[in-house]
Chain A
Amino acid sequence: MYGFEALTFNIHGGYLEAIVRGYRSGLLTAADYNNLCQCETLDDIKMHLSATEYGSYLQNEPSPLHTTTIVEKCTLKLVDEYKHMLAQATEPLSTFLEYITYGHMIDNVVLIVTGTLHERDVQELLEKCHPLGMFDSIATLAVAQNMRELYRLVLVDTPLAPYFSECITSEDLDDMNIEIMRNTLYKAYLEDFYRFCKTLGGATAEIMSDLLAFEADRRAVNITINSIGTELTRDDRRKLYSNFGLLYPYGHEELAVCEDIDQVRAAMEKYPPYQSIFSKLSYGESQMLDKAFYEEEVKRLCLAFEQQFHYGVFFAYMRLREQEIRNLMWISECVAQNQKSRVHDSVVFIF
């Protein structure tokens, strides 16, 4: 429904929307990426980045640099910006902003649990966690032995608690059911976020449901591809798909029975928006699928900025920055490992 958002949006959201649009104009452009791709060493990258908004975050780093430092500092900038926005936000924008981090929270939980399963040091794991997905008692995750304990001890305090209702079992944790847990959690999270955006109504609901539907569909495809050849049954697979999105419900039926990548492709090509993604790939290939999806996502996220008076820009900005950091990481890795020929493989230009 289109209300009269233009009339009242700026009372609470105007300042932050201006802020986020300002942040967006600081994103690296294609020219920046072209220059970055020509760099010979990590110091060159630092030098180039020092002319961008990352400058102040990198200027005090001693050479020689590491890829991790660059990524860490760039993430720090994102986190600083996020915290600034969250501190300024009022309801319901603050809830919306918090929703954005739940995805990282799920990833962090999975990371720590998997890490403890393989007996890694907790501190080391904590350092690897995405700072946006941190919560107070995250370190205590290591204590838990099974899902039930995980829930009862730690997660009951976190916003993730309601998402857990689907996956409380007393089975011991192993890689397989951690992965299932991640997907179940993600499903619940996306559905919840989707519902929340719907309650916000207006342009936010329209734009966010589009973006989230894409996210859900992408996850559905990824789950399908990753579960081909594993012992996951069709019904279990079907359960991991989110209950909304373009593919819901008929596409899900088809994906659930897919046995190889070409069947996935056949299923997906029935949907015009995804046809273009798959038409870029040759048959039997799934390597480039990620990049194709990322490109499509970036395109959709950029479009979110075309409209005013909605919260989708915050989501879009956070996602675009994350994509940018992924790009920087890839470029830095390629430069550091002298693999410059592969530098364009995974970089998604944003503008």
Chain B
Amino acid sequence: MEYIDRLPAMDLMRSEKMMLVQLIIPVESAHRAVSYLGELGLLQFRDLNDDKSPFQRTFVNQVKRCAEMSRKLRFIKEQIHKAGLTPSPSPAPQPDIDLEELEIQLEEHEHGLIEMNANSEKLQQTYNELLEFKMVLQKAGDFLLSTGSHVATQETELAENIHVNDDYAETSSLLEQVGSNFQEMLPGPSNQTGVRFISGIICKSKVLRFERMLFRTTRGNMLFNQAPTDDQILDPATNELVEKIVFVVFFSGEQARVKILKICEAFGANCYPVAEDTIRRRQITREVLSHLSDLETTLEAGLRHRDKALISIGFHLAKWMNMVRREKAVYDTLNMLNFDVTKKCLVGEGWCPIFAKTKIQEALQRATTDSNSQVGVIFHVMHSVESPPTYFKTNHLTNAYQEIVDAYGVAKYQEANPAVYTIITFPFLFAVMFGDWGHGICLLLGALFLIAREKKLGSQKLGSFMEMLFGGRYVLLLMSLFSIYCGLIYNEFFSVPFHIFGNSAYRCRDTTCSDSRSVGLVKYQDTYPFGVDPSWRGSRSELPFLNSLKMKMSILFGIAQMNLGIILSYFNARYFGNSLDIKYQFVPQMIFLNSLFGYLSLLIIIKWCSGSQADLYHVMIYMFLSPFEDLGENKLFWGQNVLQVILLLLAVIAVPWMLFPKPFILKRLHTERFQGRSYTALGTSDIYDDEEPDSAREPHLEEFNFSEVFVHQMIHSIEFVLGAVSNTASYLRLWALSLAHSELSTVFYEKVLLLAWGYDNLVIRLVGLAVFSFATAFILLMMETLSAFLHALRLHWVEFQNKFYSGDGYKFRPFSFAALNEDED
């Protein structure tokens, strides 16, 4: 036992030792101290103002200021994005500025940008108006040029209108209207000045409704001419090009004019006057054109100016955003601190790993000297009954495995960490299911590619799928290495056996080899040195042989891993000083599992070594059904009968052993501990509550509920007993998936590749090759990897971890600027 204690500590086995510390920071150095701690990133602050809403906290104004600044930064970023520039940090070193300065600068920049935008928008507006005017002049001019024929057309148009209205003239009121219209309109065509027109421009999408509305209001008493413009107009609001249409409406009467203008306004149509005689029109067009070119240069100059300003801001943008983000995080953290009674100090509490104590003290010391504070920061360790957070120091490789374990549940503080074993067992169990060294090499190449480009890929944003692959690159690496290993054992390269380790141990009985499929081969030399003999491939007994091998292997791996799990529960109990769990949980569990399935493993090994032909099913089943009967030809070793009876007895004893003693002992301990003390205990806990209202340090005495404990223990025992059977069976998935994988790849190889190769036709061969490689890539490499991964995951989460892992801890989340940046990106 001492030997175990003398073993060197495993880093990853137990989470870091944590301590609850209290910081008393003078107000003047608080900000600096917290930001130094943020750089260090090893202290997790506890929120001492949980009951206060965000705007009741102390530093709410600073937080608001930071939010305001980050809003401005977002605005600037958006502007830069809109202008089509990419913000890049300048190569030149940037001067450090403090927050107040930054705030002023941001204010200026935002103001400047808004002003520039407003100016350019105004210019754009005028420019658009002029452009529209130009278009209207051009298009409307065309309509007006045919003034001579225009009267005539309008006449016919009117006649048509009347005709149309006649069709609808069922109601008397409409008839009346038509009549009156006709009366009104009669002098129209004869009198040239009676017909007037409005010209303008409108969005293409609205033109149909516009025309209909005009038609309705004037009761069809108008002529609507339209022409699409040649180029599109930039809409200043959305920054998009809009297609517009020039229209000219001819009508008569003052009332109609007012109505039409109103409709134009309602539809956002811009009306421009067009002179009727050609000479004046030309003159106006010339003027407009000159204005336009002037404006164009002004606009461009404005844009250039803005772009320059944006680029100069863009140099600092990333740095500033980072700074504001940090600052906000610092104030958010400061908001978690409490003021002490004198209001001169801030009191904070937090968790930190013990190894970081000196570093934290150093940082605090630095903060004190840097801020010229008279009083240093007081740093002292507190006692806590609350369970500390779990913190594992991981590296690139171990991180992914820790994540796999954490996905199930974060380890309880200082609990044995299954990730230690997962690093090897996970890829190994994966490989047992994925054993094929051809596929393994493909995976290896992928993993190596990801690892080689680690730096580059790590810095950029990946899609969710790539992100996942990249995160698990080291898992992938080990998985592929183990697959190659298992593939060599299974002797499969894309399902083809290779003679790597010498010739097969079997050969035909004679030179013709005619009876190789019926009678079989003979062994003429030593067993194949490594892995499965290539001669098994394609033989009649290939499947029975491989199934028997893989099935037994799966059970051995399963029993080994479950035993490891139970042993870990021993280490846990030992570590937490819980002898009860060792005596009444670990020992009977060990006995139960090994007396039944440990015995099975033993039988398997003996059978393998001795080459016996005993039927293990029979042995196991009749061990329960008739333990005293003679084994007959299934006997593997001397004394097996007696051993079986003893093991069976042990297993039967182990069940009540793990069920009954523990709850009764717990009950006795409880009554002993609190005998005659129950009243005083209640009283003291009340007093504690009064003395320390903010955080009662004393644990509230838990009431011991025997029935609850007993039921819990019963569930636990039943789960273990049933689990021993079902979990062992569950490990058979190793065999099943491995079989599925090898059969699938055989099918693709034989039925696709070899079939296609049988034809003496290049096209068919190419098609066959293509189908084979697609099937290999997508079905075998992607789908099968995924399924084997998931099954390995299950075996670890359920079969392995339920033996010892409670996983009800919470993660250590230190206040750290580095983590902050990751979150934001």
Residue ranges of A at the interface with B (Cβ–Cβ < 8 Å): 35, 38-40, 43-44, 47-48, 50-51, 59-63, 122, 136-137, 139-143, 152-154, 157
Contacts and interface: CB of A to CB of B under 8 A. Distances in A.
Given A47-B67, A122-B265, A141-B266, 15 more contacts: A43-B64, A47-B60, A47-B64, A48-B54, A48-B55, A51-B54, A60-B71, A60-B74, A61-B71, A62-B68, A63-B64, A137-B209, A139-B268, A140-B263, A143-B217
B460 interface: no
A136 B206 CA distance: 9
Interface in B42-85: 53-56, 60, 63-64, 67-68, 71, 74-75
A48 B209 contact: no
10 contacts: A47-B64, A47-B67, A48-B55, A60-B74, A136-B209, A137-B209, A137-B213, A139-B266, A139-B267, A142-B266
Nearest to B205: A136
Interface of B: 53-56, 60, 63-64, 67-68, 71, 74-75, 209, 213, 216-217, 259, 262-263, 265-268
Contact of B75 (A50, A60, A143): A60
A35 B53 contact: yes
A153 B265 CA distance: 15
B266 A59 contact: no
A122 B266 contact: yes
A36 B63 CA distance: 18
Contacts of A122: 265-266
Contacts of B263: 140, 143
Chain B facing A: main interface SS: helix
A43 B67 CA distance: 11
Contacts of B268: 139
Contacts of B266: 122, 137, 139-143
A60 B266 CA distance: 31
A40 B216 contact: no
A153 B216 contact: yes
A66 to B, nearest CB: 16
Contacts of B262: 140, 142-143
Nearest to B268: A139
Nearest to B261: A143
Nearest to B258: A143
Nearest to A141: B266
A50 B70 CA distance: 14
Given A62-B71, A140-B266, A152-B216, A44 B55 contact: yes
B59 to A, nearest CB: 12
Nearest to A116: B262
A177 B186 CA distance: 37
Contacts of B64: 43, 47, 63
A280 B821 CA distance: 55
Contact of B55 (A40, A137, A153): A40
A63 B265 CA distance: 33
- List the 8 shortest-distance A-B pairs measured between CB atoms, nearest first: A139-B266, A44-B55, A140-B266, A35-B53, A143-B262, A47-B55, A153-B216, A143-B259
B53 A38 contact: yes
Contacts of A141: 266
A339 to B, nearest CB: 19
B50 to A, nearest CB: 13
A29 to B, nearest CB: 13
Contacts of A40: 55
A51 B63 CA distance: 14
B54 A153 contact: no
B80 to A, nearest CB: 15
Nearest to B78: A60
Given A40-B55, A47-B54, A140 B267 contact: yes
B53 A59 contact: no
Contact of B56 (A38, A63, A139, A154): A38
Contacts of B63: 47
B55 A39 contact: yes
A62 B262 CA distance: 36
Which among B266, B267, B268 has the highest number of chain A CB atoms within 10 Å?
B266
Contacts of A59: 67, 71, 74
